[in-house]
Structure 1
């Protein structure tokens, strides 16, 4: 039975946090498998960090093409990294693995009426395999992950932390942190392999600390810092770990913001769709960029 994603209920913050922290370790990709990918040479025979990052960027484009929610993308990346960390796959199979992880996430997170047919998904993404190939790969993925889809992703931690912080701030201070901007920054981080090895709760915390620091608002900085420090203690995160990941976030977002990353000339997908599919899609979907721009302002 598939363990599907459920949204946060009306439980108190402490109860939600404990439930997610208890599950976090069970859904973390295996470090030994990730290190093998990290040390592999880019010779076309082994999975590498570069190939993984290119696949994630394609899945981000698909997410925006269909207008799927951020939960779908984050869950897809969680599934992909977990599978890559336990299975040695050949680069030629990566596109099938990636699309299957994406499709599992779509069926788990989106409303049934918005779930595309597998054949349409293959055609739109121009993957070179059949629906039968995709179904077989999906079964392999689910078996290797023990049919456990639901995962406490960094996005779920980010939203939980954000709501908790906002409840403790005055209306003016609440304007400092933008959830839309934070979620966009998290998507950028997902495109970088280095964050696959970091616990979701720590990544979410580092993003919040980075964004609070970047806003440079002296009138509200003390209160926000106080709330963040209290949250850090609840999570038992060491100062050194938080500073280290925050620096990785800063480096990632700087690289993501460059023209080379935002407007790649050779990696943009060319969408091929049927007439029936075209009639069902919104006109705006045809004008997406390969990677979205992170909002400049928190307002």
Structure 2
């Protein structure tokens, strides 16, 4: 993976299934969970807390530099992978974080939007020199053996969401002023926020993505559980992991007032709104994320997504996934 995923209108479910199979295989080869040890009193090592503060800083930093969600997710992955290899004193975590952020940008972003090292340091308001950034960047790349092309939770989010739009084209019909790109923007905001919790990122990227999606489906359709079960089978996520991840992401999103989106339903008193009993409110979105995702879905060009219908086709494609993953 490691290159920005392009999922455009007109892409069919067969190709998406192949992309999913290839991503699952890469995840199997690449992913290692970072567990932060507990102290004798049962509390989490302070490194986990400092790591979360550094990741939150990256998310805040991205409001200035406006890199893509893929870049942010890759930066978080690089931080966690480096922490798996090196015991980093907390005072150096911000330096590690900004370097991983810069490495991710140079890997995924267009050259013209990547700032110089000096501009990056100045724009981040981080008290360090350009030479310190360059030195730390070299350390990180060497420790990672220059292997920085990883599949992330954002990559899986795009694939799974596109599959949902293929197999359930009616999924968003009951929502007011909702498009696939707007819906994906909502999911992206929540997923990126979840990456700032080290306990959540102990789960596989695909498990985290499916967990965030499942919470969102629960709000918009009474049939959410059957859809999630099919997506679970498709993504090879075991039930125990998904349940535990849902519990943690649900608790985290609730604590950060992000669990309920407040969708506005078209038909007052419809089956969805009755079953879910959600208060209709306007959805506030991150403009940068939304605009980028609009381009991903080619909505600016007025191209409608070609969608196949129902779960029958999904089950047929699931049967082919194991063979695709093995390729």
Across the two proteins, how many residue pairs are aligned to each other?
Answer: 249
Root-mean-square deviation (Å) = 2.6
Partner of 2:250: 250
- After superposing on structure 2, the runs of 4+ consecutive aligned residues of structure 1 that deviate more than 3 Å are 8-11, 38-41, 170-177, 224-227, 294-297
Assess, with a 3 A threshold, how the Cα gap between structure 1 residues 150 and 175 changes in structure 2: closer, same or farther.
farther
The whole-number CA distance in structure 2 between the counterparts of 1:201 and 1:13 is: 15
The whole-number CA distance in structure 2 between the counterparts of 1:51 and 1:184 is: 22
Q: Deviations over 1:177-229 (max 9, x none)?
A: 711110011011011111221100000111111111133x4xxx32x543332
Q: Deviations over 1:5-31 (max 9, x none)?
A: 242476712211111111113332444
- In the TM superposition, 1:64-83 aligns within 5 A as 64-83=63-82
Assess, with a 3 A threshold, how the Cα gap between structure 1 residues 172 and 195 changes in structure 2: closer, same or farther.
closer
Partner of 1:189: 194
Partner of 2:30: 27
Partner of 1:92: 91
Partner of 1:213: 218
Assess if the C-alpha contact under 8 Å between 2:36 and 2:47 holds in 1: no
The whole-number CA distance in structure 2 between the counterparts of 1:140 and 1:252 is: 33
Following TM superposition, by how much is the alpha carbon of 1:84 offset from its aligned partner in structure 2, in angstroms?
0.9
State the secondary structure of the residue aligned to 1:127. coil
Assess if the C-alpha contact under 8 Å between 1:72 and 1:109 holds in 2: yes
Q: Which has the higher contact order (CA 8 A, sep 6+)?
A: 2
Please list every run of 5 or more consecutive structure 1 residues that lacks an aligned counterpart in the other structure: 259-293
Please list every run of 5 or more consecutive structure 2 residues that lacks an aligned counterpart in the other structure: 259-281, 286-327
Assess if the C-alpha contact under 8 Å between 1:6 and 1:150 holds in 2: no
Following TM superposition, by how much is the alpha carbon of 1:126 offset from its aligned partner in structure 2, in angstroms?
2.2
Assess, with a 3 A threshold, how the Cα gap between structure 1 residues 170 and 22 changes in structure 2: closer, same or farther.
closer
Partner of 2:5: 7
Assess if the C-alpha contact under 8 Å between 1:74 and 1:153 holds in 2: yes
Assess if the C-alpha contact under 8 Å between 1:40 and 1:48 holds in 2: no
Assess if the C-alpha contact under 8 Å between 1:27 and 1:82 holds in 2: no
Assess if the C-alpha contact under 8 Å between 2:154 and 2:188 holds in 1: yes
Assess, with a 3 A threshold, how the Cα gap between structure 1 residues 295 and 50 changes in structure 2: closer, same or farther.
farther
Assess if the C-alpha contact under 8 Å between 1:56 and 1:190 holds in 2: yes
- TM-score if structure 2 supplies the norm length? 0.69
Assess, with a 3 A threshold, how the Cα gap between structure 1 residues 120 and 92 changes in structure 2: closer, same or farther.
same
Assess if the C-alpha contact under 8 Å between 1:29 and 1:81 holds in 2: no
The whole-number CA distance in structure 1 between the counterparts of 2:197 and 2:133 is: 25
The whole-number CA distance in structure 2 between the counterparts of 1:60 and 1:136 is: 23
Partner of 2:263: none
The whole-number CA distance in structure 1 between the counterparts of 2:17 and 2:146 is: 28
